[in-house]
Amino acid sequence: MRNRVRDLFDRVRQSLFFIPALIVGGCAVLARTLLWVDGSGSLDGLLVLSTTVASARVILSTIAGATITVAAIVFSITALTVQLAASQYSPRILGVLFRDSFQQIVIGITTGTFVYSLLVLAAVRLPSDGAEESSPSVSTTAGIILAVLAMLLIVGFLNHVLQRIEVGTLIRGIADATTHEVRRELPERLEASPETALAADQLSGEPSLRVRGTTKGWVTSIDNRQLLDAVDDGGVLRVDVEVGDYVHSGTMLATVWTLDPPSGLESAIREAIGTGTNRKIEGDPRFGLRLLSDIALRALSPGINDPATAVDVVTHLGEPLGEVLTRDLPHRVVGDRGSNRRLFRPDRPDRDDYIRSALQGIRLNAGAQPEVIRAIIDLAHDLVSLLPEAQAGRGDSLRREVHLLLQQAERELPDDDVKLLRRRAEKHGLVPEPGD
């Protein structure tokens, strides 16, 4: 149930319907309330615009026409932004764009103002229509306030969109979100098992239970605490999937070795392994690295040929990868204090996985771009310099990426360019100097 709620909440965050619908509903309630206030005369004497029925109808008609035009502009800008981001950066960027709460509020206020004006306009009738003469001053004043607010929001929305799709802002936002998730995900909250690993023969016996999935989707979370609580004392549970994997109905989720499987064990395991319709950065920092890599790959494609954007991506990879290198990774085998229960997650990503997610795709496409190669060499140097001498081995993945990158450059660049790049890498100690 908790995973369904989490998936539903994520859909709401990406929806351009839910929040605007709530605002439209609120504007409808406001219209009925203020019409009642106008009829009761309870706010007479307050600072409101004094209007007649005829002037109120003109004002409200103008507001309704103007706001529906503004709403059409907002819809057009939103569609254009989505199309531009998908073609220029990556289709997987759309989830990030749809989560913009300001965009949802602007859509809600503009359409809500239109609905408010229609409802008030329909209720305000001229005496010639058989209605009693009334002064809808409060309702009309509120309509004008909503119209002014909608106009201000559309100006702010234009500024917001233009800044938001600027490549530097977009890259920085994804990099910051990825860094936040790295900091949140890497510290291990459970105790490490006394064993640093589970030997193969410990899991070679016939398992007590194999748990398969019943739904399809991306694995978005794995709750270690809930998984350990589901197994009885002395049991071992191996998770056969990892966050970021796509599972189908029938995919093996987990395998359990235990003498007496508790009742409800299968449902508890399925509940602890959350799935969703879309992959997201929250809980999956490697997806954030993938998004950044996608932007760089699109920039390096022959159709766009924008190496400066790829350099910008490589520069912003420094923060999340620096956290990966300097933090201790979660253990693949964790235990529970006071019991012999153990949880084994053999596919948990290591530092090599994080480095490959960020740099492998860029490396394979940057062999003919000296400025991108130079940026990767500088990034590797900056990251390796963060490590104390006792942890120097953590930079081996970066050195390997630089070595492979230079090999590829030798096949695609002139010798003089390769010599300059190799000299730069040797200067930073990323490749052995000649004769070493």
The rounded distance, in Å, linking the Cα atoms of 229 and 327 is 27
Q: What pLDDT, on a 0 to 100 scale, did the predictor assign at position 166?
A: 84
Q: Which residues pair with 221 in a beta bridge?
A: 274
Output 150 or 232, whichever has higher pLDDT.
150
- Sign, Cα dihedral of 360, 362, 366, 371: negative
Q: What pLDDT, on a 0 to 100 scale, did the predictor assign at position 174?
A: 92
Could you tell me which residues come within 8 angstroms of residue 85 by beta carbon, excluding any fewer than 6 positions away? 93, 94, 97, 165, 170
Task: Give which of 434, 396, 402, 436 is closest to 421, Cα–Cα.
Answer: 402
The rounded distance, in Å, linking the Cα atoms of 176 and 170 is 10
Q: Which amino acid is at 326?
A: T
Q: Which two tokens stand for residue 423?
A: 């000299």
**350 pLDDT higher than 70:** yes
**Inter-CA distances, 57 with 51, 149, 223, Å:** 10, 20, 58
Task: Give which of 277, 272, 286 is closest to 218, Cα–Cα.
Answer: 277
User: Residue 211, SS3?
Assistant: strand
Helices (H) and strands (E) in the chain, counts: 16, 9
**pTM greater than 0.85 (yes/no):** no
The rounded distance, in Å, linking the Cα atoms of 61 and 253 is 59
Confidence of residue 436 (pLDDT cuts 50, 70, 90): very low
Q: What distance, in Å, lies between the first and last C-alpha atoms of the chain?
A: 60
Rounded average pLDDT over 333-338: 77
The rounded distance, in Å, linking the Cα atoms of 84 and 90 is 9
Helix axes 53-88, 101-123, angle to 10 degrees: 160
Confidence of residue 133 (pLDDT cuts 50, 70, 90): low
Share of the chain above pLDDT 70, in %: 88
Confidence of residue 48 (pLDDT cuts 50, 70, 90): low
Q: CA 65, 69, 74 angle in degrees (round to 5)?
A: 145
Q: Are 291 and 171 in contact (CB under 8 A)?
A: no
User: Residue 257, SS3?
Assistant: strand
**56 pLDDT higher than 50:** yes
Q: Are 236 and 216 in contact (CB under 8 A)?
A: no
The rounded distance, in Å, linking the Cα atoms of 365 and 308 is 14
Q: What pLDDT, on a 0 to 100 scale, did the predictor assign at position 54?
A: 83
Q: Are 325 and 184 in contact (CB under 8 A)?
A: no
Q: What pLDDT, on a 0 to 100 scale, did the predictor assign at position 42?
A: 62
Q: What pLDDT, on a 0 to 100 scale, did the predictor assign at position 203?
A: 61
Q: What pLDDT, on a 0 to 100 scale, did the predictor assign at position 230?
A: 87
The rounded distance, in Å, linking the Cα atoms of 211 and 321 is 34
Could you tell me which residues come within 8 angstroms of residue 9 by beta carbon, excluding any fewer than 6 positions away? none
Output 30 or 6, whichever has higher pLDDT.
30
Q: What is the pLDDT of residues 285-325, one digit of tens each?
A: 999 999 999 999 999 988 888 999 999 999 999 999 999 99
**434 pLDDT higher than 60:** no
Phi/psi of residue 298, each to 5°? -65, -40
Q: What is the pLDDT of residues 70-128, one digit of tens each?
A: 888 888 888 888 888 888 788 788 777 777 888 889 999 999 999 999 999 888 876 65
Q: What pLDDT, on a 0 to 100 scale, did the predictor assign at position 413?
A: 92
Bridge-based pairing state of the strands 236-239 and 333-335: unpaired
Q: Which two tokens stand for residue 213?
A: 């999935």
- Sign, Cα dihedral of 413, 416, 418, 421: negative
Mean pLDDT of the chain: 85
What is the residue whose two structure tokens read 């390997």? 400
Q: What pLDDT, on a 0 to 100 scale, did the predictor assign at position 248?
A: 92
